[in-house]
């Protein structure tokens, strides 16, 4: 069943076509990999979905409801959980407090009422659960400046999970991690997915993409190049050419 439908999205930055008539959909319960070379339009697509970038043309539907005119926070409250490419923790807060702020979405929904809600204990307890799920509950009371990048990446995912999103939109979560960390992180995503979490993943680490994604969409120069299962898509000459470069294809031939 399709959860998110992206229909004929076009984005132009000045004269540059960042995306041209791209359509794709995200099905309930899958890990969809959105791949492509640098500048292909992957991050732009994610920004269109979250509302940071307004498309010049096209439509984004969540189970048939159009999201185009909703603000970023409104889309997040509809169930879009977005983790950014560069980790951006709140540096004044511990990791647990970072996650608890997201876990308390019910408390912060109405700004005026939030002034009269004081108790943070339940949200903090819940934050420990999410931190444990990504394996960093031991650093709950640490401040972001005191932990390594891998921890912050996990915290970012825990923070998004605490929003209980209907889908997880991840922008290069494995970038900057070494292969051991990347594999461990990818395993967490598989585990989340096995619990029913729908995931859209932008990622350059093809080994992990091939291993964990159930379906791939390839973008190149703002257009959709291919779509299908990892095995078939990654064998298509056009994909290899765009992604790895012409020389490789000739070499393999």
Distance between CA atoms of 146 and 152, rounded to whole angstroms? 10
Q: Tell which one of 114, 138, 179, 229 touches other proteins (CB under 8 A).
A: 114
Q: Is 93 in the site for other proteins (CB under 8 A)?
A: yes
**Least separation in angstroms between CB 174 and other proteins:** 19
Distance between CA atoms of 141 and 127, rounded to whole angstroms? 11
Scanning residues 48 to 67, which ones bind other proteins (CB under 8 A)?
50
**Least separation in angstroms between CB 141 and other proteins:** 14
- Give the helix ranges, DSSP H, for 7-120: 42-50, 72-77, 95-103, 105-108, 111-114
Q: Tell which one of 31, 62, 102, 202 touches other proteins (CB under 8 A).
A: 102
Distance between CA atoms of 234 and 213, rounded to whole angstroms? 12
**Least separation in angstroms between CB 105 and other proteins:** 6
19 and 222 Cβ atoms separated by less than 8 Å = yes
Q: Is 70 in the site for other proteins (CB under 8 A)?
A: no
C-alpha torsion 190→191→195→199, nearest 10 = -30
By C-beta, is 99 or 234 nearer to other proteins?
Answer: 99
By C-beta, is 90 or 246 nearer to other proteins?
Answer: 90
Q: Tell which one of 14, 116, 145, 252 touches other proteins (CB under 8 A).
A: 116
Strand order in the sheet with 65-66: 16-27, 2-13, 57-62, 65-66
Distance between CA atoms of 158 and 188, rounded to whole angstroms? 11
What are the tokens at 149? 């990048």
Distance between CA atoms of 12 and 222, rounded to whole angstroms? 10
Distance between CA atoms of 28 and 11, rounded to whole angstroms? 26
By C-beta, is 72 or 238 nearer to other proteins?
Answer: 72
Sign of CA dihedral 80, 85, 89, 95: positive
Scanning residues 1 to 30, which ones bind other proteins (CB under 8 A)?
none
Scanning residues 137 to 176, which ones bind other proteins (CB under 8 A)?
159, 163
Number of residues that bind other proteins (CB under 8 A): 30
**Least separation in angstroms between CB 120 and other proteins:** 7
By C-beta, is 50 or 197 nearer to other proteins?
Answer: 50
Q: Tell which one of 85, 108, 142, 214 touches other proteins (CB under 8 A).
A: 108
Interstrand relation of 198-202 and 31-35 (parallel, antiparallel or unpaired): parallel
- Which positions touch other proteins (CB under 8 A)? 50, 71-73, 76-77, 82, 84, 88, 90-93, 97, 101-102, 104-105, 107-108, 111-112, 114-118, 120, 159, 163
């Amino acid at each position: 069943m399709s959860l998110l439908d992206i229909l004929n999205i076009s984005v132009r930055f000045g004269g540059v076509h960042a995306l041209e008539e791209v359509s794709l959909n995200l099905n309930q319960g899958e890990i969809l990999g959105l791949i492509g070379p640098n500048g292909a339009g992957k991050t732009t697509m994610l920004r269109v979905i979250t509302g940071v970038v307004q498309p010049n043309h096209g439509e984004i539907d969540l189970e048939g409801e159009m999201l185009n005119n909703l603000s970023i926070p409104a889309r997040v409250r509809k169930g879009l959980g977005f983790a950014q490419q560069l980790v951006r923790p709140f540096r004044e807060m511990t990791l647990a407090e970072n996650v608890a702020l997201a876990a308390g979405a019910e408390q912060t929904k109405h700004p005026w009422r939030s002034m009269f809600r004081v108790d943070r204990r339940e949200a903090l307890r819940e934050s420990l659960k999410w931190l444990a799920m990504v394996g960093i509950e031991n650093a709950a009371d640490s401040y972001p400046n005191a932990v390594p990048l891998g921890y912050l990446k996990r915290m970012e995912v825990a923070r998004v999970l605490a929003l209980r999103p209907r889908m997880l939109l991840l922008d290069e979560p494995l970038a900057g991690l070494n292969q051991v960390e990347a594999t461990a992180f990818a395993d967490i995503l598989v585990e989340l997915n096995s619990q029913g979490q729908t995931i859209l993943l932008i990622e350059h680490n093809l080994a992990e993409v091939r291993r964990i994604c159930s379906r791939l969409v390839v973008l190149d120069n703002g257009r959709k190049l291919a779509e299908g299962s990892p095995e078939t898509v990654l064998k298509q000459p056009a994909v290899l050419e765009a992604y790895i470069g012409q020389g490789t294809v000739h070499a393999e031939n």
